[in-house]
Structure 1
Amino acid sequence: MIQVMIIEDDPMVRDINTKFLQRVDGFLLIKAASNLTQAKSFIKKHKVDLILLDIYLPKENGIDFLKWIRAEEIRVEVILITADKTIERIQEAFRYGARDYLIKPFTLERFKESLFKFKDRYSQFNKISEIEQTELDKYILSNNDLEEANNGTTDLTKGLNRYTYDMIWQQIKLIREKGEKYITAEELGETLGIARVTCRKYLEYMNKEGKVEMLIEYGKIGRPQHKYKINSVT
């Protein structure tokens, strides 16, 4: 499990972020801090893999905490969650190694996209000691391209977004890891917080790619049900 600390002074926002986190498999909240003093004390004594960090805290600044982490050489990743949308602040956050930058208010879908991208990179890097350039590029180019994240640009067919595609694909892989086989667009949409028609569009695209197989079940009443699973040769 990826161990997470949330740093947020607003109790209501902290509760919302906690509930969002609980809806993503593979992540465990181990600390919810309301100020940087609590956060520093905790991180010195406990292993934390990921911090969800607010910038605006009472008489404190999350960017200063990010700088402190780097100065102390603490091995932890940080995703900024803030209402600050100034380019200067965004650039500063990435300059000090922020993994992603979520601007309030954000959607559950965007939140999950960020965590799934982090989880994929985290899991893969913990399995290997070396990596080739072509494989590394998959993580660098997809995780750090801020303009692509904000504008939704993609190298997929028109109307499809790379981040949504990756999020759906990660969930399908997770289903296979759990030993389950088929999933419908409705079930996928409920899990990820995405509209059924959107999931269906991406699943059909993956089917054309040959990455997933489609099964059509005809019932006695209603429309036939489309089910999908990872192609056995993928």
Structure 2
Amino acid sequence: MKVNDKPIFKVILIEDDPMVQEVNKQFIEQVQGFQVVGVAGNGNDGLQLVRELSPDLVFLDVFMPSLGGIETLQKLRTMALPVDVVAVTAAKDAETIRTMLRHGAFDYIIKPFKLERVKQTLERYRLQHDAWTEVPPVTQDDLDRLLHTAGASGYTVNAGALQTKDALTYEQDDLPKGLNAVTLNQVLHAMRLHDGGLSAEEAAAAVGIARVTARRYLDYLEKTGLVKLEINYGGVGRPVNRYVRKL
């Protein structure tokens, strides 16, 4: 299913606390393109919902009756179900975090959390989905850029990814006071993976910075002529500024 030519991502919540279920649902559905299609109170019921509804994404608690989050994620992987998982839990210990990430969790959100944190995760998920969907047969360099910019959170560009010739666009001495070369290169790298351009909000989610900070870097790139500003008047509400990298 698509809205405005973009896919609707189906989400299942596996969470035993009814209040947290409702908060998660409200937060997720405030992000355009994401819809909660099912809710389960334990891992066993959640697995059944995943089989029946074939979601794109699961929000998964760790501490639950019947079947906990770690065991549920392990079963999802054993069953080879084509679904991504975001851990949403109060568990803060390193071993639980490592275990969830080791079994392929796309992101790990610690309770209590804010709407902005969920939005960042979902925007990263959308960007990664678009990047893989739009990629033609790749070279090793193309694949390295995709894989090495996807950290434990799925799409966050990290400094290690900048050690490629393509990503080393700016040095600190090139920039005016107040701009950081690493951050600017991260923004550029995110744009390379999304040829249709990025809004400030999407760039912020991809890099893991505040929207106002992302806009400052995008405005700088526009002034230098590396990107162009396109104003999208489609839909209801304010127009959206999109920054598109020039070829």
TM-score, normalised with respect to structure 2: 0.66
Superposition map of 1:52-71 within 5 A: 52-71=59-78
Distance 1:49 1:196 in 2: 26
The residue that corresponds to 1:41 in the other structure is: 48
Other structure's SS at 1:57 match: coil
Aligned partners of 2:43 and 2:66 also within 8 Å: no
Cα distance, 1:24 vs. partner? 1.6
Distance 2:96 2:183 in 1: 29
The residue that corresponds to 2:13 in the other structure is: 6
Distance 2:23 2:84 in 1: 21
Cα distance, 1:125 vs. partner? 2.3
The aligned amino acid for 1:135 is: D
Percent identity over the alignment is: 30
* Greater shift in the superposed pair: 65-74 or 195-204: 195-204
Residue deviations 1:41-84 (CA, integer Å, cap 9, x gap): 21222211111111111353101000001111111111111111
Aligned pair in 2 of structure 1 residues 232, 139: CA closer, same or farther (>3 Å)? closer
RMSD value, Cα: 3.7
Superposition map of 1:34-183 within 5 A: 34-128=41-135, 130-145=137-152, 157-158=179-180, 160=183, 162=186, 173=197
The aligned amino acid for 2:226 is: G
Aligned partners of 2:62 and 2:70 also within 8 Å: yes
The residue that corresponds to 2:243 in the other structure is: 230
Structure 1 unaligned blocks of 5 or more: 176-184, 216-226
The residue that corresponds to 1:211 in the other structure is: 227
The aligned amino acid for 1:213 is: L
Distance 1:143 1:59 in 2: 33
TM-score, normalised with respect to structure 1: 0.69
Aligned residue-pair number: 203
Distance 2:150 2:58 in 1: 16
Aligned pair in 2 of structure 1 residues 11, 71: CA closer, same or farther (>3 Å)? same
Aligned pair in 2 of structure 1 residues 209, 103: CA closer, same or farther (>3 Å)? farther
Structure 2 unaligned blocks of 5 or more: 1-7, 163-169, 171-178, 232-239
Aligned pair in 2 of structure 1 residues 100, 138: CA closer, same or farther (>3 Å)? farther
Aligned pair in 2 of structure 1 residues 40, 214: CA closer, same or farther (>3 Å)? closer
Distance 1:73 1:203 in 2: 40
Aligned partners of 2:230 and 2:241 also within 8 Å: yes
Aligned partners of 1:203 and 1:228 also within 8 Å: no
Aligned pair in 2 of structure 1 residues 200, 125: CA closer, same or farther (>3 Å)? closer
The residue that corresponds to 1:29 in the other structure is: 36
The aligned amino acid for 1:37 is: N
Verify: 1:201 aligned to 2:216, yes or no: yes
